[in-house]
Every structure is written in C-alpha cells, then in structure tokens.
Amino acid sequence: MPAVELARSAVADLESLIRTHSLPDDTRVRVRTRLAVLGQFPQIGPALTGRWEGFRFILGPWRWMVLVYIYMEEEDRVVVVTIEDGRRSGAAAGSR
C-alpha cells in the first residue's frame, strides 16, 4: 500500500483555500479522508495531459476542489502536489 504525502506546495494551497474560501474547521480532516482512497487505489484518478502529463487528479471533499497528485510506483508513494479550485480557468484539471 503506497504512502500518501502532501508536498509543501499542496499544504500551502490548502491553507490558502481555507482562508480565501472560508472553509470549515474540519477541512484538513475532510481532505485527509478523501486522500485515503489513494493508499489503496493510487491510479484511480484520471490522467492529466499537456504540462501536467504524468499527474492524475481526484476531486476533494467539494466538487470544485481538485487534488493533483503523482504516483511513483517504484517508490510506492503518492504525492499530492497541488490543491486547486477547479472553477478557475487555469486549474490543472481544466487543462486535460
């Protein structure tokens, strides 16, 4: 079972979204719960293309929240690299 980690950039993104979107106090727990699926099914998310090739995404606890990650099979690790508001025109999932 792969380890699921958040890059510093993803933590910063999440903190920013909590602040700018006035998300509830349990947001970090909700995100952690959502990411747990990647420990069992690391390739569950659709693959991204273009500049995001090699990355995948799943939706977070809210349908607008996009959790972008990479699965490093040889290291048995999943690393979430960014957490974005998918409603933004420049969001990673929008560039599939």
Domains of the chain in start order, with CATH, are: 3-87 (3.30.2310.20)
Model confidence over 43-96: pLDDT tens digits?
Answer: 999 999 999 999 999 999 999 999 999 999 999 999 999 999 999 866 665 554
What pTM value is reported for the model? 0.90
Cα separation, 55 vs 70, in Å, equals 5
| CB distance 34 to 61 below 8 Å | yes
Cα separation, 61 vs 27, in Å, equals 8
Cα separation, 94 vs 72, in Å, equals 23
Angle at 53 between CA 20 and CA 33, to 5 degrees: 45
